Amino acid sequence: MTAGSAPPPDFIYPNRISAVLELRETRGKTNPDTNLEFDDSEGEQSNRSDFLCGRCLAGIANRSALSSRSGRTEHAFANPAGILFQIACFNEAPGCLTEGALTSEFTWFAGYSWQYANCRRCFSHLGWLYVGSEDSFFGLILDRLVQSS
Ligand SMILES: [Zn+2]
């Protein structure tokens, strides 16, 4: 019985190993490349949307999905950094991919948690998905969208 008498061999770095594993896990979750397969399958259909991504012109959402929240479809909010966002609420936004964990921190709609909503094609940040206990909706930044004619 020599337990405790010898230090662990110096080639074992349990802390470093778990740090590397954590890093890999994080990369896997946030790497947009893992979502590339979605691109082609919905490209043509989404081109007929009323609201397009301002950067890549992928279809994002339709006018018929505009949704009134607290009596208005459009809202203006400032984030904690003081940047002002003018958003419109949509019941659905098929052109968006959501990213990140849901959080209620700094939420603009009481009772709703949010996560990021990015363009499904170019991954630019277009707004947020708000999830409440009974429903969910997208709040999309108006000056990052263009309306198709
Ligand atoms: Zn885009």
Dist. CA 79–CA 107, nearest whole Å:
9
Mean pLDDT of 57-78: 96
Residue ranges of domains in the chain, CATH in brackets: 12-147 (2.170.150.20)
Name the band, by pLDDT with cuts 50, 70 and 90, for residue 27: very low
Token pair of 69 as six digits: 């929240």
> In the chain, what percentage of residues exceed pLDDT 70?
68
More confident residue, 45 or 96: 96
pLDDT tens digit string along 110-136?
999 999 999 999 999 999 999 999 999
Separation of 145 CA from ligand 1 center, angstroms?
A: 9
Separation of 36 CA from ligand 1 center, angstroms?
A: 12
22-36, 43-57, 119-133: range with lowest mean pLDDT: 22-36
The reported pLDDT for the residue numbered 48 is 82
Separation of 57 CA from ligand 1 center, angstroms?
A: 6
Mean pLDDT of 71-85: 94
Mean pLDDT of 67-91: 95
Beta bridge partners of 117: 98, 127
Nearby residues for ligand 1 (ion, Cβ within 5 Å): 53, 55-56, 58, 119, 121-122
Record the pTM: 0.68
DSSP annotation string for the chain: --TTTSPPPTT--HHHHHHHHHHHHHHHHH-GGGGTTHHHHHHHHHTT-SEEETTT--EEE-GGGB--BTTBSEEEEE-TT--EEEEEEES--TTEEEEEEEE-TT-SSTT-EEEEEEETTT--EEEEEEE-SS-EEEEEEGGGEEE--
| Nearby residues of 139 by Cβ (< 8 Å), 6 or more positions away | 75, 87, 88, 89, 90, 108, 109, 114, 127, 128, 129, 130
Is it the case that residue 1 has pLDDT exceeding 70?
no
> Nearest 5 degrees, angle CA 133-CA 89-CA 119?
100
Mean pLDDT of 5-30: 46
The reported pLDDT for the residue numbered 3 is 54
Q: At residue 3, what are phi and psi to the nearest 5 degrees?
A: -55, 130
> In the chain, what percentage of residues exceed pLDDT 90?
64
